[in-house]
Structure 1
Amino acid sequence: MKKKALVVGSGIAGIAASIRLAVKGFDVEVFESNAYPGGKLSELLIQGYRFDAGPSLFTLPEQVAELFRLAGQKTEDHFEYLKLDVACHYFWEDGKKLKAWADLNRFAEEVETKLGEPAGHIREALQRSAFIYDHLAPLFMHRSLHKFGTWTNPQALKSYLKMGKLGIFSTMNKANERQFQHPKLVQLFNRYATYNGSNPYETPATLNIIPHLEFNIGAFFPKKGMHDITMSLYKLAESLGVHFHFNARVEEILVENGKAVGVLVQGKEIKSDILVNNMDMVNAYKTILRKQKQPKLLLDQPKSSSALIFYWGIKKNFPELDLHNILFSEDYKTEFDHIFNKGSIYSDPTVYINITSVYKADDAPAGCMNWFTMINVPNNKGQNWDELIAEARRNIISKISRILKTDLEPLIEVEEILDPRTIESKTSSAQGALYGNSSNNKFAAFLRHANFSSDIKNLYFCGGSVHPGGGIPLSLLSAKIMTELVS
């Protein structure tokens, strides 16, 4: 008889965990409080426009492909994606523009031509990023940090000798200031701190690992949109016999004699051999694990930044815009000071615009574009969000209008808003933080919850709020690490 596994939450890590457990021979059921799978990786359909609701950057596609391979399927039969020629378009108020070409030499030449920064500096920075990745990825991304064997394997011992070169003792900003002459290029590379909701002026320079993913490996786009990551893996899980329960909020993880034995859903006890929590770790302990010992040190850690997103249907085509676009603030340091220290939104925020209709034309009506317009904001501490959102909206529209030299307001024919409050209510993310605990100190990697419980046998954790971190690739890797711990 098969062992039974229950998964709480159908975020991308929960779906990946269900696939891996099914392949491993478990009978798997997933309980999701929403009416749909995917958590943050969902979609919106509004009056002829389609929007990917959450994560918009796709890197390390091999983490998705591995799940199909494990199930004996060919990825291309179920999920198709393409590599981007341009990772991002960058805009500044003074009229400067940059295209971050996927071709490293072309990008380096673009930087030298547009900013006067020696092309060699780009090559050196990305070589350094690759060096950090080669030494830290096997240790921090692919293994549990909470098992003794991780720290005694040959790869770890090799990395200890390189600690001084891995950015642990510097901040991202300081490292980038040493690397580049032009402040705009420092700002561009500081932006990668936002990929896990951090502050480049505080987070360790080890996060300069991120450009390696985007440039040396590549940025990609699923041909049916980001939501297809969710749907293709959801269908794969179902084909393996995984059973999903929607609108099924777990009320409690049942623990008997120090062992997880099932869940309580709508007053009914459902028993299992193992239990996997894909819900945000902080909110899980506050709700479904409220009767259990609380890991206070981890729960009390500062949380990552959140986001304010405007889903705009724009009744005009802007040929100068691509899939990923950044309109930079004139004062980046002040912007981050507002986010992390003042708990507010700077009057000149950096604006990110994701437009999938550039590659997937049916995401918007003819002659129109679907703008996922986002700024980084503080997590929810009870601010007056209605007031902050109204002011931010005015500032964002004003900034875009200046840089694109157009009056944007009359072009907005569809609008939906997602803010830290609704992020928390829809995805159970504590304080609406996008990436769980903050990474604004050198010990942050060690202050994430393990992929297993040290107090409750047969209880495991996956998702962006636990090791190794937030974002699609790390969430998928959390499911991999977790499943490898299951016996």
Structure 2
Amino acid sequence: MGKKVIIVGSGIAGMAAAIRLSIKGYEVTVFEANSYPGGKLSEINMKGYRFDAGPSLFTLPEQLEELFELANKKTEDFFKYKRLEINCNYFWEDGTKLSAHADVAKFAEEVKTQLGEPAENIKKALNNSAYIYRHLAPLFMHRSLHKWSTWFNKKALSSYLRMGKLGLFKTMNKANTQQFKHPKLVQLFNRYATYNGSNPYQTPATLNIIPHLEFNRGAYFPIKGMHDITSSLFNLAKELGVHFQFNQPVERILVKNNTAKGVKAGGKSYYSDFVINNMDMVTAYKTILKEEKQPERLLKQPKSSSALIFYWGIKKNFPELDLHNILFSNDYEKEFKAIFEKKDLYEDPTVYINITSIHKKDDAPDGSMNWFTMINVPNNQGQDWDTLKIKAKEFIVRKINTTLNTDIEPLIEVEQILDPIGIETKTSSANGALYGNSSNNKYAAFLRHPNYSSSIDKLYFCGGSVHPGGGIPLCLLSAKIMVDMIPKA
């Protein structure tokens, strides 16, 4: 009889781990509390409109392709995508608009024309972003930070000598203020802090690694929508023989003599050689690991921001909009103070609008668009979200009407709302935080839970709440780092 692995949760990291472990020779069973796989990467269908419910940006597609290659499958038989020509359209209330062309030379020229910013500054900033990636990715993204071997190899030693240049000792905003002359461009590049739920006025400038992924490596769109990432991984896992148990919340991870032995679900015990936790780390320790030693320092770390999302079916086409759109606040610093210090909404929020029907026409009826309309908000600290949702809609509608010179409310044909409480309920994310612990200090990378338990043998962790972090590429990498620690069956 072959060796068995049980995985708690079928987020993309859980499914990626299932695929890798199945290829390693294990019999894999995934327990999922929901009736569907994918965690945050799910979809919503309403009256002819389809919405990707969660993550909307796709970068580093090679992390996904690697899973198909390992299984000796052709990626295109499961999953197809294309590179975007426009990464994002940016709007300000004074009428300024920028299209972030994937072609860096085009983007630099547009910035020069629209803002008077020297084109060379864009090129220097993206070269710096590539430099950070080159020296930090091997250390922070592809290896465990909790193994001595990571810190004593040539690449690591090379990175130590460059920590100043890598932005560890200044904030993202400070670095961007030094890189750019125009405050709107500073604001645009500060926005990348939100990609992991952080505050650009606090988070270290090492996060300037992110523009490299979007510009130099490319932003992409799955031709069937972001949910196709979930569907393709699920189909590959099933083809490899992975068993999925849906509507089966795990009640407890079974531990005996400091060793994980399996899980209890539906009042029944299931045994395995290894247990993988893909549930949010904080929630897991409070529920299915509540009887075990608690990593108090990690559990007390501040959480990332959350999101308030309005899924709107809009019965009109807006030709000025693209797949990704940002309508900027007039005072970015005040917005982040409201989110992280006051734990409240800001009256002039930055609004993100994702419209997949731009590329996938059947996501909305003819002449209409599917708007995934989102603002960054604090994680759930007991606020009155019913009241805040009403206020947020007022703020968002005002921002859209002023910036796009329209009257949006009469055009909203269907609506569904997801708030931090809903995020916590649907995905077990502690406090509804999108990315687990925040990255608002220079030690944040070291304050993420490792991909293994230091106190329970044969218990491992993957997903956005553990190393190396949140977002699709990092979740896939967390599965890879973790599975590399487990021997072949």
TM-score, with length taken from structure 2:
0.99
After superposing on structure 2, the runs of 4+ consecutive aligned residues of structure 1 that deviate more than 4 Å are none
Q: For residue 135 of structure 1, what is the aligned residue in structure 2? A: 135
SS at the partner of 1:390?
helix
Paired with 1:55 and 1:114, the residues of 2 have a C-alpha distance of: 30
Aligned length: 487
- Which structure 2 residue ranges, 5 or more long, are not aligned? none
SS at the partner of 2:25?
coil
SS at the partner of 1:163?
coil
SS at the partner of 1:90?
strand
Q: For residue 24 of structure 1, what is the aligned residue in structure 2? A: 24
SS at the partner of 2:318?
coil
Paired with 2:245 and 2:364, the residues of 1 have a C-alpha distance of: 32
Instruction: Report Cα offsets for 1:142-196 as digits up to 9, x if no partner.
Output: 0000000000011101111111100000000000000000000000000000000
Q: For residue 191 of structure 1, what is the aligned residue in structure 2? A: 191
Paired with 2:164 and 2:96, the residues of 1 have a C-alpha distance of: 35
Q: For residue 33 of structure 1, what is the aligned residue in structure 2? A: 33
Paired with 1:163 and 1:343, the residues of 2 have a C-alpha distance of: 32
Paired with 1:170 and 1:164, the residues of 2 have a C-alpha distance of: 9
Counting aligned pairs with the same residue, the percent is 71
Q: For residue 56 of structure 2, what is the aligned residue in structure 1? A: 56
Instruction: Report Cα offsets for 1:206-264 as digits up to 9, x if no partner.
Output: 00000000000000000000000000000000000000010000000000001000000
Aligned residue identity for 1:158: S
Instruction: Report Cα offsets for 1:79-123 as digits up to 9, x if no partner.
Output: 000000000000000000000000000000000000000000000
Paired with 1:364 and 1:411, the residues of 2 have a C-alpha distance of: 13
Instruction: Report Cα offsets for 1:8-44 as digits up to 9, x if no partner.
Output: 0000100000000000100000000000000000000
Q: For residue 312 of structure 1, what is the aligned residue in structure 2? A: 312
Q: For residue 471 of structure 1, what is the aligned residue in structure 2? A: 471
Q: For residue 158 of structure 1, what is the aligned residue in structure 2? A: 158
1:168 correspondence with 2:181: no
1:392 correspondence with 2:392: yes
Q: For residue 486 of structure 1, what is the aligned residue in structure 2? A: 486
Q: For residue 261 of structure 1, what is the aligned residue in structure 2? A: 261
SS at the partner of 1:311?
strand
1:367 correspondence with 2:374: no
| 1:188-227 superposed matches below 5 A | 188-227=188-227
Paired with 2:51 and 2:382, the residues of 1 have a C-alpha distance of: 28
Q: For residue 409 of structure 1, what is the aligned residue in structure 2? A: 409
Paired with 1:322 and 1:243, the residues of 2 have a C-alpha distance of: 39
Instruction: Report Cα offsets for 1:275-327 as digits up to 9, x if no partner.
Output: 00000000000000000000000000000000000000000000100000000
Distance apart, 1:404 and its partner CA: 1.1
| 1:48-127 superposed matches below 5 A | 48-127=48-127
SS at the partner of 1:342?
coil
The two structures, once aligned, show a CA RMSD in angstroms of 0.4
Q: For residue 2 of structure 1, what is the aligned residue in structure 2? A: 2
Aligned residue identity for 2:391: E
Q: For residue 281 of structure 2, what is the aligned residue in structure 1? A: 281
Paired with 2:404 and 2:431, the residues of 1 have a C-alpha distance of: 34
Instruction: Report Cα offsets for 1:306-363 as digits up to 9, x if no partner.
Output: 0000000000000100000000000000000000000000000000000000000000
Aligned residue identity for 2:212: H
Aligned residue identity for 1:128: N
SS at the partner of 1:228?
helix
Q: For residue 244 of structure 2, what is the aligned residue in structure 1? A: 244
Paired with 1:230 and 1:472, the residues of 2 have a C-alpha distance of: 11
Paired with 1:257 and 1:398, the residues of 2 have a C-alpha distance of: 59
Distance apart, 1:78 and its partner CA: 1.0
Q: For residue 348 of structure 2, what is the aligned residue in structure 1? A: 348
Distance apart, 1:389 and its partner CA: 1.0
Aligned residue identity for 1:253: I
Paired with 1:141 and 1:97, the residues of 2 have a C-alpha distance of: 34
Aligned residue identity for 1:267: G
Q: For residue 294 of structure 1, what is the aligned residue in structure 2? A: 294
Paired with 2:485 and 2:455, the residues of 1 have a C-alpha distance of: 15
Paired with 1:408 and 1:116, the residues of 2 have a C-alpha distance of: 32
User: Which stretch of the first structure deviates more once superposed, 411-420 or 395-404?
Assistant: 395-404
Paired with 2:466 and 2:152, the residues of 1 have a C-alpha distance of: 22
- Which structure 1 residue ranges, 5 or more long, are not aligned? none
1:44 correspondence with 2:33: no
1:331 correspondence with 2:338: no
Distance apart, 1:77 and its partner CA: 1.3
SS at the partner of 2:58?
coil
TM-score, with length taken from structure 1:
1.00
Distance apart, 1:76 and its partner CA: 1.0
Aligned residue identity for 2:220: F
